Amino acid sequence: MAPRPNLSDIARAIGVSSATVSNALSGKGRVSAQLSRQIAEKARELGYVPSLAGRALSTGRSHVLGLVLADIGHPLFPQFAQAIEQAATKAGYGVLIGDSRGDVKTQTAAIDQLIERGADGIILVPRHGTRIAEINCPVAVIDTPSTPGNTVSADHWQGGRLIGAHLRNLGHTHLAIIGLHQDSNVQADRIGGIRTGFGREGSVRTLWIDALEADAGPGCELGLAELVREGYTAFAAVSDIHALRAVSELQRSGLSVPAHVTVTGFDDLHWARSISPALTTVRMNMETIARLAVADLLLQIEPDRTTPPEDETAPPQAVPMELIVRSSSASPHGNLIPSQDNNNNSDPDTLPSREGTNNA
């Protein structure tokens, strides 16, 4: 590993000042085209790689963003990380990760650490029930529109409405919603949306998994078969994970999905399409969310950044979710709806985008 060449090495090799090399390489256009070319050439020849530490020190910008999540272990993390990484890279930023491991104190520590490392801004996906401490650094919060301080996020309530309406349209009248925590804003919005979309006719009730588990231990039965006996034909989980658990439990009880009951999820996790029956669910447009979050941060970091005039209005806080109808949902009368898996390719970029791109 030879010591990396620096600006002065190039300057010396050509016989110009390092200021000129810097100007040439950064393309500010104050250097004659010919010299510029010569410098670029020599830089390539020497294998010059600019040192970001030097640049960061002189400009006061690290061009690094911090990504802090409540729980890196969450299965949705890949979608977040991938989208944020992509949006940040496109904007010329790197992504430093922090894990709050569900703990508010750890979350604060993680944030402090990222600031110390020079992050120019922080994207925070907070844990449910967390109050965001004051942060001496630009922050973009991805939570849910109803959370104060939320910057941008999926419209979980609208996603819930899609699910609720879908189930109602199939003809269900008895709906059981499966949630995990009562103190999650995201889940509260999803559930509120589901109830709204489903309407007031019939019967709707909500099961809280953590309450059940507090009594009966982890992995316990949710008692879904009993609900089916009471007439419930539709089960809407606030996460694909819980939907999977519901499907499992129902099938174990000898009930068939979707012949006897319908199950829906939330989030369109990686495997949702490959189980059988494939899971009807709703999915965030992570690409858009990430792009808006990064754009918001850049606006805070570089106030002089030119914003396209049509974006003068506040950016949309709530990015619509998309319903993905798969075979786990059917009418309660047994007639399967056509299985229109409109998400049959694995390339997220080809997902239909629901809004104008607010590109930075």
Partner DNA sequence: CTGAAAGCGCTTACAG
The smaller minimum CB distance to its own copies, of residues 345 and 359, is found at 345
Q: Which does 335 bind (CB under 5 to 8 A by kind): DNA, its own copies, none?
A: none
What residues contact residue 1 under an 8 Å CB cut-off, 6+ apart?
A: none
Binding partner selected for residue 98 from DNA, its own copies, none, CB under the kind-specific 5 to 8 Å limit: its own copies
d(CA 235, CA 274): 19
Bridge partners for 263 per DSSP? 235
Residue 252 is a binding residue for its own copies (CB under 8 A) = yes
How do strand 322-324 and strand 281-283 relate by DSSP bridges?
antiparallel
Contact range with its own copies by CB under 8 A, out of 34-42, 153-161, 247-255, 314-322? 247-255
Interface region with its own copies, contact rule CB under 8 A, candidates 23-31, 190-198, 245-253, 287-295: 245-253
Q: Does 113 bind its own copies (CB under 8 A)?
A: yes
Tell me the C-alpha to C-alpha distance, in Å, between residue 234 and each of 16, 243, 261. 75, 11, 6
**Using the rule CB under 8 A, is 52 a contact of its own copies?**
yes
Report, in Å, the least distance between residue 13 CB and DNA.
Answer: 13
Q: Closer CB to DNA, residue 137 or residue 237?
A: 137
Element (H, E) at 335: none
Sequence-distant contacts of 312-318: CB under 8 A, at least 24 apart: 315/152, 315/358, 316/152, 316/292, 316/355, 316/358, 317/145, 317/150, 317/151, 317/152, 317/153, 318/145, 318/152, 318/153, 318/154, 318/155, 318/157, 318/158
* Residue with Cβ nearer DNA (5 or 199): 5
Closest contact distance (angstroms) between CB of 51 and DNA is 3
List interacting residues with DNA (CB under 7 A).
3-4, 6-8, 15-20, 22-23, 25-26, 28-32, 35, 48, 50-51, 53-55, 57-60
In the complex, what is the shortest distance from the CB of residue 151 to its own copies, in angstroms, rounded to a whole number? 17
Q: Rounded to the nearest whole angstrom, what is the least distance from the CB of residue 307 to DNA in the complex?
A: 20
Q: Which of 78, 129, 231, 356 binds its own copies (CB under 8 A)?
A: 78
Q: Which of 31, 72, 141, 324 is close enough to bind its own copies by CB under 8 A? A: 72
Q: Following DSSP, what letter does each residue of 114-171 receive, concatenated?
A: HHHTT-SEEEEEPPTTPPPPP-SS-EEE-S-TTSTT--SEE-HHHHHHHHHHHHHHHT
Q: In the bound complex, what is the minimum distance in angstroms from residue 51's beta carbon to its own copies?
A: 7
Of 323, 313, 302, the residue nearest 356 (C-alpha):
313
Stretch that binds its own copies, among 11-19, 94-102, 145-153, 154-162 (CB under 8 A): 94-102
Given the rule CB under 8 A, which residues bind its own copies?
1-2, 4, 49-54, 56-57, 62-64, 67, 72-75, 77-79, 81-82, 85-86, 89, 94-99, 112-118, 136-137, 218-219, 241, 244-245, 248-249, 251-252, 269-271, 273-278, 341, 344-346, 348
